[in-house]
Structure 1
Amino acid sequence: MITLDDIILAREKMKGIVHTTPLDFSQTFSTISANNKVYLKLENLQKTGSFKVRGSYNKMISLTEAELQKGVVAASAGNHAQGVAYSSQMLGIPCTIVMPKGAPLSKVSATRQYGADVVLQGHTFDDALAYALELKDQMGATFVHAFDDDAVIAGQGTVGLEILEQLPDVEAIMVPVGGGGLIGGIALAIKEKNPHVRVYGVQAMACPSMKQSLVEHEPVSVASSPTMADGIAVKKPGLHNYDLVEKYVDDIICVDEMEIARTMLLLLERNKLLVEGSGAVSLASLLYQKVNFKEKNVVAVISGGNVDVNFISRIIERGMVESGRYANFSMIVKDKPGEMQRVLSSISELDANIQSVHLDHVGKDIYPGYAQIELALETKNQDHIEEIRRVLKNNGYVVRDSD
């Protein structure tokens, strides 16, 4: 098991290579989260867009000269790939990253721009991992694990040292958890320096592997559902990480997809921060009061911001739907002059912003003399949506949700 000295040494070796990321106080999020004083540790502003570069760089500088010359191999579909590629570029060593064939083109391109040789293999991460391990043996290269490695964990733990320097009176820290490298390093650094600080891990409810492992007292695999927090959707935590979490972490909590989506949208709107789902879970746990404390100095680690450009609009739309800011309605109306105007006037009087209107005269549910109106509305919240439904119903319309 690593020690605090390993993390302190990693910090010294990384100076000038990785950023000391900002710790930003948010009055808005403090008010929402039961008047805790909420600070955001912005690892989404780290080089390569996530904390991953800390661990990968520390792993590589721990290699011998002979090992460096043979290069490194890693498997990843996202942030770890870019962290390893960037670190390899800084050290001037060969780097091969195996990514699944379905990996986002933006992430493949970014990894190649850092100088890595990208190999697309298989359709899942497990396929890519198996092939990466084969390549490692063929090439005699060093495999850089995404989380289950002492040097990687020590590198991630430097985030904890920075938090203590930036906010000495911190009382609690919320950390995203996937394989456990980030929280393992942070928890060790924090607890060894100040055991009174609480450290909580946050997982997506769709893949609660670390939480279930703690219940069963050993690392276990769990079934995983699709999640916006794909960066932490690790079905089985690392053994090194599990031991650190069991020793140092106060609790693991979970957030659902609605909470993640709304938090991503809030970060974009209020703080102008583009944050990936896995990076938003820590703040979501505070905004939805998953922890039982108030008026504490709390840090939410925003672990990454690498969101695929094509996914941004869907994130915004999903977040708006989940928060009651966007709604789709359909209704059958009489096909007569003035009926459309009557519907639109009713909605406008309720201060809903009409985004689009579509009128059909033919369909399986549309009888002669009637038409179907489909509306996309920008609304204020769920109560506003219900008010619109109620007024339209009172005016004689049958309102249905549209897909």
Structure 2
Amino acid sequence: MSNDYLKRILTSRVYDVVRETSLEHAPLASARLNNRILLKREDQLDVFSFKLRGAYNKMAHLTPAELKRGVIAASAGNHAQGVAYSAKRLGTRAVIVMPETTPQLKIDGVRRHGGEVVLSGESYSDAYAHAQELEKKEKLTFVHPFDDPYVIAGQGTIGMEILHQHPGPIDAIFVPIGGGGLIAGVAAYIKQLRPEIKIIGVQTEDSAAMARSVKANRRLNLTDVGLFSDGTAVKQVGQETFRVAREYVDDFVLVDTDAICAAIKDVFQETRSVLEPAGALAMAGLKRYAQEHKLKNKTLIAITSGANMNFDRLRFVAERADVGLAREAVFVLSLPEARGSFRRLTESLGDRSVTEFNYRISDAKEAHVFVGLQIQSEADIAKLENHFVRKGFPTLNLTDNEMAKTHIRYMVGGRSPLAEHEELYRFEFPERPGALRRFLSSMNPDWNISLFHYRNQGDDYGRILVGLQVPPEDKNAFKEFVNALGYPHWRETNNPVYKMFL
């Protein structure tokens, strides 16, 4: 069967529609990881994904009668675009069943290529079940996204190109896994010709169907899968891809959402291309594997498999990338609700770069402040935690708390019966290390801070929203104080949004 894959790969029809993608050196990642990192740029293809290879190869080998009836596929998006693109080239009808969670960008891509979109279920497996029903009902020809020898062979041409482009030593190739078609094809080719090269499969921790199946020595069907990396959200891998992976894949590495976001940022810094989460999966796995195994001076290749990213998701990716890169730590610090405590806390921050400082008075005795800080490495997290505890501030590390990072950091606040005589002001100040501490040190301790929100957005100016409790008899003195600060400011006490939510 292995020789059969070699023949299928060498005689594949992918180059009717695909050009050889580049294998590029990643100098920044190489220097940081002390290894030679290369990126196989499958995001450069016409549908911005490797899936075009397998889809077209399968359809180009259909009989005229099969093509005439039309084709159907189930896909989270990239295979769908590959099938629609191929159908248009081959002059046949294409019906694509996609999960309801599929990004709009991929749905629009399928329709742009002439595909008929049917949305069904929350994952690939749900869409697949519905596609099987439609296949029988409308007598269409099914084009499987991964568990088909022609599809596997089409994806295997990536391995053929890698060996052609880099005939020198290669220590490992990192391959993202959903259903397993890509890694089966690459492994089947590479291991026949260069068995010394390690093939490492990369999956998300919450969608590790292949890794868990190989470990169990049987195909498992996961009850639920994570949807952030929607292109690899597969509950059960293919029967044939499982067989090939079990024979040829050397190891697996699992990564989380933050690591994927960090990898998207890494590849953007190298190439100025924005990968989708599944497209950055191999890079995330490469980084983790190299660090865990302390690899040095090795040649490591990551397949950047796709770039069909919904633009709106970039907000989330940008937020989480610094955590994944160990550039931001998030804490809740507790302190007595008493005058002077706030200043003592800010003094303990020193000149560290603050990324977020979020507080709302809510208890008469104890205050809880949500703090984000820039760090240089993961080792800084424990050091900071110990530092704050020594300074007398009980500390809760939220850096790995999913709910805190996704929701709570934006929800600190609310109405408070304790915020009597509150004045709300918005300030801007030049953004530089220590600027927040200097701003806070200029605040008069005679007026209690009852609300505070600051978030570093990477701009030249920091933006702060401050609530202070000012008795009516102090209004004039407070206005003079605000004007004397010298910062651009706006009174927001009468803003209807403040009245509605805070």
- Counterpart of 1:104 in structure 2 is 103
Per the normalisation by structure 1, the TM-score is 0.85
- Counterpart of 2:415 in structure 1 is none
- Counterpart of 1:367 in structure 2 is 364
1:325 aligned residue (324, 328, 339): 328
Q: Single out whichever of 303-312 and 89-98 deviates more from structure 2.
A: 303-312
Q: How does 1:240-251 map to 2 (within 5 A)?
A: 240-247=240-247, 249-251=248-250
C-alpha spacing 1:76/1:373, structure 2 compared with 1 (3 Å): same
Deviation of 1:390 after TM superposition, in Å, equals: 4.7
- Counterpart of 1:88 in structure 2 is 87
Q: How does 1:33-44 map to 2 (within 5 A)?
A: 33=33, 35-44=34-43
Other structure's SS at 1:47 match: coil
- Counterpart of 1:115 in structure 2 is 114
Q: How does 1:169-318 map to 2 (within 5 A)?
A: 169-171=168-170, 172-226=172-226, 228-247=228-247, 249-257=248-256, 258-288=258-288, 289=290, 294-318=296-320
Is structure 2 residue 166 aligned with structure 1 residue 167?
A: yes
CA RMSD of aligned residues (A): 2.8
After superposition, the C-alpha distances for 1:171-214 in whole angstroms (9 at most, x for unaligned) are 23222222221111112222333333332322333333323333
Q: Which has the higher contact order (CA 8 A, sep 6+)?
A: 1
CA distance in 2, matches of 1:282, 1:50: 14
What amino acid sits opposite 1:318 in the alignment?
A: R
Whether contact under 8 Å (1:275, 1:302) holds in the other structure is: yes
Deviation of 1:324 after TM superposition, in Å, equals: 4.0
- Counterpart of 1:351 in structure 2 is 352
The runs of 5 or more residues in structure 2 that have no matched partner are: 399-403, 405-502
CA distance in 2, matches of 1:191, 1:385: 41
Aligned length: 392
CA distance in 1, matches of 2:287, 2:77: 27
CA distance in 2, matches of 1:72, 1:165: 33
Whether contact under 8 Å (2:354, 2:371) holds in the other structure is: no
C-alpha spacing 1:100/1:317, structure 2 compared with 1 (3 Å): same
After superposition, the C-alpha distances for 1:154-179 in whole angstroms (9 at most, x for unaligned) are 11011011101110124232222222
C-alpha spacing 1:183/1:390, structure 2 compared with 1 (3 Å): closer
Whether contact under 8 Å (1:72, 1:94) holds in the other structure is: yes
Whether contact under 8 Å (1:359, 1:374) holds in the other structure is: yes
Other structure's SS at 2:21 match: coil
Q: How does 1:49-60 map to 2 (within 5 A)?
A: 49-60=48-59
C-alpha spacing 1:193/1:276, structure 2 compared with 1 (3 Å): same
CA distance in 2, matches of 1:21, 1:282: 16
CA distance in 2, matches of 1:265, 1:332: 36
State the percentage of identical aligned residues.
33
- Counterpart of 1:139 in structure 2 is 138
Whether contact under 8 Å (1:184, 1:241) holds in the other structure is: yes
Deviation of 1:260 after TM superposition, in Å, equals: 3.4
